[in-house]
Structure 1
Amino acid sequence: MRIVTWNINSLRLRMPLLQRLAAELSPDVICLQETKVPDELFPAGAAELLGYGHHAFRGMKSYNGVAVFSRVPMTVLADAPDWCGRGDCRHMAVRLQAPGGAVELHNFYVPAGGDIPDPLTNPKFAHKLAFVEEATRYFAGRADLRRSVLVGDLNIAPLEHDVWSHKQLLDVVSHTPPEVERMERWLGSGFVDAMRHFVPADQKLYSWWSYRNRDWQLSNRGRRLDHVWVTPDLVPGLRAMTVHKDARDWPVPSDHAPVMLELDA
């Protein structure tokens, strides 16, 4: 099973890029974040034209939004929490049919957190910390957490080599100690970092490059904001992981590159 996660940064604007992604990587499941389209305007027909007969979405105008396209049958898990009680379309959970049994898949778009890493003066940063804390409590309380995959734009680059400069970004939102500590606890609630299963922690690994860097490849000032986690029982089935960097050079690209996990499930 090939699972892709991608912050597409506006689905309707980048629909041609989604078509290219499907053609080049041929994933079985595509998880999108920042679709930025309300449900009544969601291009569901396009998913079917791309060969994804199963799809689910949760969106709002101009902001946030998540979607899952699947070639395998899936069921939306309606009892997923409304994080921080905001109803802001940042999470979707589905159950996929797989050869080894059902796989629970969580697609997240964690709040970015604004620019000031102080929860007392920046409500956006406070929301981000509260969101991660709530997600951690939820998964830590799941005695039945198995055969599960968690993907998405988690907006935190936790490790030293998940950012282009650990020292310079310690006080920049996405790599600050309060965020990193909370992400470590979330990961420890029952998951394994599948991307770092393939790329050792002492090697650079990025999935996002700012639009401000005109020559993003030359400067390579990236961050790993996109993640793929699996429960320990799925680790033996991990086969490959790819950050599809070529997508960052496509016409009118997202600032995120798609990440694909290949998994025997």
Structure 2
Amino acid sequence: MCKRVLVKTRIPVDPVGMRLITWNINSLRLRLPLLKQIVEQENPDIVCLQETKVPDPLFPVQALNEMGFVHQVYKGMKGYNGVAILSRQPLEPASGMPDWCTRSDCRHVAASIATSAGPILLHDFYVPAGGDIPDPDENEKFAHKLAFVDEATGWFARTPPARSILVGDLNIAPLEHDVWSHRQLLKIVSHTPAETERLKAWMATGFQDAMRTITPESEKLYTWWSYRNRDWRKSNRGRRLDHVWMTPDLMHGLRDIRVLKDVRDWESPSDHVPVVLDFDPA
């Protein structure tokens, strides 16, 4: 069963400036050494993970404690999906979050972080990939993906976000330069109009695309490269599937966003790379 886990303690006021990393790790236990290396390199305050692929009883609490993340909120299941928020600062799990598509498949976790200007609500999502056939009538996985995004859009429209950050593997590359070839990928799952229009509608419920605030839409920007590419760097057939959204009331604090592209060259990497957000929460 999916669970939220909280290490309870008094919530202090944050220091000025925070660093958050979001990463589809594609198996937390398998890639714990890579996570440790990233943490040592970047020293984040918060890490949001997707595709942890670990049931809650086997979640590596102690190993993450040793990295400094003594506050952990997670939902996981065996072999599939799974999301986690890891923090050096206390977290308060968000209440009233939906069971998306009534599947209880561990694709979303949310938590509140106290700051000097008031709490920030952090959402960590792993949207269904959608399979290979971009037809909801022929492909149940694609139908599930569209239904998931529609449901999330409706929920956020009814519950307008404020002082919120949404990150994760949303499995959709919405803009022309979020993929290596807009023309060739229009009929490929992750960049079809049915998906991109829905993702933009979800973001329009109250978020802004923080990554594209830092990197203009006219520039190529990727966070994922397929394992099928023998030389991923040379072919550079990437997609921006991982996202950072912020509500307008937090955008003044946006400092920088970096894609850690070199992590894709590390031994036994995920096909996604981490994205680093630096912001002032005040």
TM-score of Structure 1 vs Structure 2, range by shorter chain: over 0.9
**Counterpart position of 1:100:** 117
- Shift of residue 72 of structure 1? 1.2
The residue number in structure 2 matching 1:178 is 194
Equivalent in the alignment of 1:22: 39
| Match of residue 89, structure 1, among 106, 127, 132 | 106
2:8 aligned partner: none
- Moved runs in structure 1, 4+ residues, more than 4 A? none
- Out of 195, 199, 204, the residue aligned to residue 215 of structure 2 is 199
Residue of structure 1 in register with 2:85 after alignment: 68
Q: What do the CA deviations read for 1:65-113 (whole angstroms, capped 9, x no partner)?
A: 0011001111111321110000000000000122322100000000000
Say what the alpha-carbon RMSD is for the aligned residues: 0.7
Q: Match of 1:43? A: 60
Name the CA distance, whole Å, in 2 between partners of 1:169 and 1:39. 37
The TM-score with structure 2 as length reference comes to: 0.93
| In structure 1, C-alpha distance between the alignment counterparts of 2:187 and 2:148, rounded to whole Å | 20
Count of matched residue pairs: 264
Which deviations, in whole Å up to 9, do the C-alpha atoms of 1:166-192 show, x marking residues without a partner? 000000000000000100100100000
Map of 1:109 onto structure 2: 126
Distance in 1, Cα, partners of 2:267 & 2:166: 29
CA distances 1:142-185 after superposition (whole Å, capped 9, x unpaired): 14x21100000000000000000000000000000000010010
Q: Distance in 2 between matches of 1:101 and 1:53?
A: 22
Structure 1, residues 221-254: CA drift from partner, whole Å, max 9, x if none? 0000000000000110000000001111111000
Q: Structure 2 counterpart of 1:254, which letter?
A: S
Q: Work out the CA distance in 2 between the residues paired with 1:80 and 1:26.
A: 29
Query: Is residue 159 of structure 2 the alignment partner of residue 142 of structure 1?
Result: yes
* 1:133 counterpart letter in structure 2: D
Amino acid of the structure 2 residue aligned with 1:59: G
CA distance in 2, matches of 1:264, 1:128: 33
The answer to whether structure 1 residue 4 and structure 2 residue 25 are counterparts is: no
What's 1:221 paired with? Answer: 237
| Aligned residue identity for 2:36 | Q
Distance in 1 (CA, whole Å) between partners of 2:163 and 2:37 is 30
Which secondary structure does the structure 1 equivalent of 2:146 belong to?
A: helix
* Aligned position for 1:230: 246
Decide whether the 8 Å contact of 2:20 with 2:47 is kept in 1. yes
Q: Which amino acid aligns with 1:166?
A: H
1:58 aligns to what? 75
Tell me, yes or no, if structure 1 residue 255 matches structure 2 residue 271. yes
What's 1:167 paired with? 183
Hey, what's the Cα distance between the residues in 2 that align with 1:231 and 1:12? 32
Q: Residue 83 of structure 2 contacts residue 107 of structure 2 at CA under 8 Å; is this kept in 1?
A: yes
Q: Secondary structure at the match of 1:240?
A: strand
Q: Distance in 1 between matches of 2:107 and 2:67?
A: 24
* Aligned-partner Cα distance in 1 for 2:201–2:84: 26
Q: Deviations over 1:102-135 (max 9, x none)?
A: 1000000000000000001100000000000000
Q: Secondary structure at the match of 1:252?
A: coil
**Is the partner of 1:67 in helix, strand or coil?**
strand
What is the alpha-carbon distance in structure 1 between the residues aligned to residue 44 and residue 118 of structure 2?
19
- Percent identical among aligned pairs is 62
Say whether the 8 Å CA contact 2:73–2:91 is kept in structure 1: no
Match of 1:152 in 2: 168
Distance in 1 of aligned mates of 2:131 and 2:46? 30
User: Is residue 2:149 matched to residue 1:132?
Assistant: yes
In structure 1, C-alpha distance between the alignment counterparts of 2:64 and 2:99, rounded to whole Å: 26
